[in-house]
């Protein structure tokens, strides 16, 4: 009952579960035109896409053969302003509906935080080579029980200007086409060539 005159559902499961429930229960007699996940509160650029529930829903949609988009705002502030992305969400969704999507592909769309200047445009780009360098601090709760608090810093090793981290840093919307086949195809021949397969048979 969140939206007036709109039939809506909520789930206690994961974002990917929501897509499964929609396909097999809510919309079992028809197919969706588009699956949209987000807008996530925080960045899903670079390696963060692998940890993202928002993108898991979009990937689930792509696995089912539906045009799917995951939207994220690169602002973790509790007072993050989402107002500047509305027009871009609509523009990108319309492009997907009008042009379709390659099979098995979902879009990972990230928006820069709201600034004084308007967003410059859109960059269709690759995922940046970056990672989180985690740190754990040991703490104690009010009952004296020890727990670990995960923190750390995001480190960008990528010096290119064709990746999502560069796009966001330069006030562009980044769009990275993602696929669910994570096979490292370039490594298959190397492993065949370099490993001692006779030793593995013993």
Task: Name the token pair of 7.
Answer: 């039939």
Distances (CA, A) of 20 to 40, 93, 155, 189: 19, 21, 34, 36
| DSSP string computed for 25-71 | IITTTS--S-EEEEEEES---GGGGGG-HHHHHHHHHHHTT--EEEE
What ranges in 46-202 are assigned the alpha helix state H? 53-63, 86-99, 164-169, 185-194, 197-201
Per-residue pLDDT of the chain in tens (202 residues, 90 and over written 9): 778 898 888 899 999 999 999 999 999 999 999 999 999 999 999 999 999 999 999 999 999 999 999 999 999 999 999 999 999 999 999 999 999 999 999 999 999 999 989 999 999 999 999 999 999 999 999 999 999 999 889 999 999 999 999 999 999 999 999 999 999 999 999 999 999 888 877 7
Write out the residue range of the structural domain in which residue 49 sits. Answer: 15-129+161-201
Report pLDDT for 196: 87
Q: Is residue 155 part of a domain?
A: no
Report pLDDT for 1: 75
Q: Is residue 136 part of a domain?
A: no
Q: Is residue 151 part of a domain?
A: no
Residue 48 sits in a domain of what CATH number? Answer: 3.40.1210.10
Report pLDDT for 201: 78
* Closest C-alpha to 108, from 58, 176, 60: 176
Structurally, the chain folds into a number of domains equal to 1
What are the backbone dihedrals phi and psi of residue 28, each rounded to the nearest 5 degrees, phi first?
-65, -20
* Closest C-alpha to 110, from 60, 174, 153: 174
165 and 47 Cβ atoms separated by less than 8 Å: no
Report pLDDT for 116: 86
Q: Is residue 78 part of a domain?
A: yes
Collect all residues with Cβ–Cβ distance below 8 Å to 194 and sequence separation of at least 6. Answer: none
CA dist., res. 89 & res. 171, Å (int): 16
Q: Is residue 145 part of a domain?
A: no
CA angle 137, 157, 183 (to 5 degrees): 95
Q: Is residue 142 part of a domain?
A: no
Q: Is residue 154 part of a domain?
A: no
Q: Is residue 51 part of a domain?
A: yes
């Amino acid at each position: 009952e969140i939206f007036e005159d709109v039939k809506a559902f909520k789930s206690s499961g994961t974002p990917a579960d929501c897509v499964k429930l929609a396909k097999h229960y809510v919309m079992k007699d028809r197919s969706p035109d588009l699956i949209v996940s987000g807008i996530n509160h925080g960045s899903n650029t670079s390696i963060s896409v692998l940890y993202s529930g928002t993108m898991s829903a979009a990937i689930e949609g792509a696995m089912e053969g539906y045009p799917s988009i995951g939207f994220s705002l690169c602002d973790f502030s509790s007072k993050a302003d989402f107002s500047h992305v509305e027009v871009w969400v609509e523009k990108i969704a319309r492009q997907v509906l009008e042009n379709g999507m390659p099979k098995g592909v979902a879009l990972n769309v990230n928006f820069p935080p709201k600034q004084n200047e308007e967003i410059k445009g859109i960059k269709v780009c690759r995922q940046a080579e970056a990672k989180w360098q985690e740190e754990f601090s040991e703490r104690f709760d009010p009952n004296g029980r020890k727990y670990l608090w995960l923190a750390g810093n995001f480190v960008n090793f990528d010096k290119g200007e064709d990746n999502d981290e560069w796009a966001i840093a330069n006030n562009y919307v980044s769009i990275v086409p993602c696929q669910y086949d994570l096979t490292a195809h370039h490594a298959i021949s190397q492993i065949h060539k370099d490993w001692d397969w006779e030793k593995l048979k013993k």
